[in-house]
Chains A and B, each alone.
Chain A
Amino acid sequence: MAGKVLTITSGKGGVGKTTVTANLGVALALHSQRVTVIDADIGLRNLDVMLGLENRIVYDLVDVVEGRCRLRQALVRDKRLQELFLLPAAQTRDKTAVSPQDMVQVCDDLRQSFDFLLIDSPAGIEQGFQNAVAPADGILIVTNPEVAAVRDADRIIGLLEAEEKGPAHLIINRLKPKLVERGDMLDTATVVELLAIQLIGIVPEDESVIAAANTGRPIAFDDGVTGRSFHDIARRLLGENIPFAPLKEPGFFDRLLRIVRPEGG
């Protein structure tokens, strides 16, 4: 069996790469997939914090690459999900501690025992990004519905095309339906038209994502519009055909309907 390596990247910082990686990892694991999330942001690691696994780290990616431990020893099992593992980044080193070949080697080893490897790429287009995309079978581009983020995503897609990496799919993160309705935010159709790649997920802006990040419990564990949007992406990755759902919380009328037709949930 050979697992699939997906790299989550964006170009611009702060658009939600780590949030997407953590939540997709959780969602895929909840769908009985064996998943390792890999933090490629050496020197600025965050993925462990978002998953609430920071205090369990013994070895990290750089220890593996420099031969101080075996790959299995560096994997941290999630405290809630048997099928989810984290390969943490080193915090006290920088991007040059790992080469693209190292990443390919690590992923080739892990591929044998996992269904999905999700690599959280650092922002930027320098070596950290090159490391993160080197082993990828597919790319998930995360962007926000704003011009600067879309511009950087476009740059990344161009670089990936030039290296013949792909296919690349698009995740639009932090969409605010109300702002779109008012015409104050780029809408989904415009972003997709500008970037001309296939959309695989839309995640609404949600304050509870911040709370979830601070408590180390990704929102994909909970049922809600945002949590579900990550499960939808996971199911699309597994080949299901899931239509893009409206992003609003159900209003009073919707809830009323649901009471009348309880099977509709």
Chain B
Amino acid sequence: MAEDPITVKGIRDGLLITLGEGPWEERLLRLAGRLQAGATFFQGGRAALDVGARELDGEQIERVRDLLARSGVELWALLSSCDATVIAAVRAGLVPDLELGLPAQQSAPTQEPPAPTGALVVERTLRSGQRLEHPGDVVIIGDVHAGAEVVAGRHVVVWGWLRGMVHAGAMGDDSAIVCALGLAPTQLRIAGHISRSPDEKQRDVVPEMARVRNGRIEAIPWQ
């Protein structure tokens, strides 16, 4: 039987980790594996954890917080549809609702978004189903095919066709940009903004740069 995967996605205030269905211990093991596999990606990040309907006590929350901390991830929010869990989370000093945003005293001392890591240069084509995660800049020399995903903490440059999905500034960096020689992504995300390609085909292909302007993603010719 297929196991429910743990999903990780970028939101405005860092990462949102969803634990999915399954026994608690098995989920913790799986989370540990996921953290280890993407060690550089998670390092220095901030995360909200969605535990679904589980009833957790303070001790269990401390354990998962420790687990994340060991991979350099600071847990700031714990989401649950179970009241007892929410109460335990608040007692543990965690935010129970993403809408409330980062607690002020927490966002102030932590310096800027995690110190920019070096650029990751990939000299191959990413095909459908392949996924690349990196906390810093990503440069791809090759194409990103439809069905492939790139998630970067900062900018993404594709020296080739971009037809897949790219999320730049995934930890909430609005100033991230996406450049491609052929910009035709199925979907483009920059920090918390999402745009998709126009449904009709565009034929004139020039190198373009996408960035956030006035709360929207816009593409301009890239010189």
A residues with a Cβ closer than 8 A to B are: 151-152, 154-155, 157-159, 161-162, 194, 196
Contact = CB atoms under 8 A, between A and B. Distances in A.
Given A154-B147, A158-B127, 5 more contacts: A151-B147, A154-B145, A155-B129, A155-B147, A162-B130
B128 A151 contact: yes
Given A151-B128, A155-B128, A196 B147 contact: no
28 contacts: A151-B128, A151-B146, A151-B147, A152-B128, A154-B127, A154-B128, A154-B129, A154-B145, A154-B146, A154-B147, A155-B127, A155-B128, A155-B129, A155-B147, A157-B127, A158-B126, A158-B127, A158-B128, A158-B129, A158-B130, A158-B148, A159-B129, A161-B124, A161-B127, A162-B130, A194-B145, A196-B125, A196-B143
Contacts of B126: 158
Contacts of B127: 154-155, 157-158, 161
Interface string B40-64: 0000000000000000000000000
A194 B147 CA distance: 12
A164 B147 CA distance: 20
Interface of B is mostly: loop
B2 to A, nearest CB: 10
Interface centre among A152, A154, A161, A194 (most CB of B within 10 A): A154
Contacts of A157: 127
Contacts of B129: 154-155, 158-159
A194 B146 CA distance: 9
Nearest to A196: B125
A152 to B, nearest CB: 7
Interface centre among B125, B129, B130, B143 (most CB of A within 10 A): B129
Contacts of A161: 124, 127
Contacts of B130: 158, 162
Contacts of B148: 158
A157 B146 CA distance: 13
B53 to A, nearest CB: 30
A158 B127 CA distance: 5
A148 to B, nearest CB: 11
B80 to A, nearest CB: 33
Contacts of A152: 128
Interface in B101-127: 124-127
Contacts of A159: 129
Nearest to B143: A196
Interface in B124-160: 124-130, 143, 145-148
A132 B124 CA distance: 26
Contacts of B124: 161
Nearest to B129: A155
Contacts of A196: 125, 143
Nearest to B146: A151
Contacts of B125: 196
B56 to A, nearest CB: 34
Contacts of A151: 128, 146-147
Contacts of B145: 154, 194
A190 to B, nearest CB: 12
A152 B143 CA distance: 17
A111 to B, nearest CB: 30
Contacts of A155: 127-129, 147
A159 B129 CA distance: 9
Interface centre among B124, B125, B128, B145 (most CB of A within 10 A): B128
B58 to A, nearest CB: 41
A184 B128 CA distance: 23
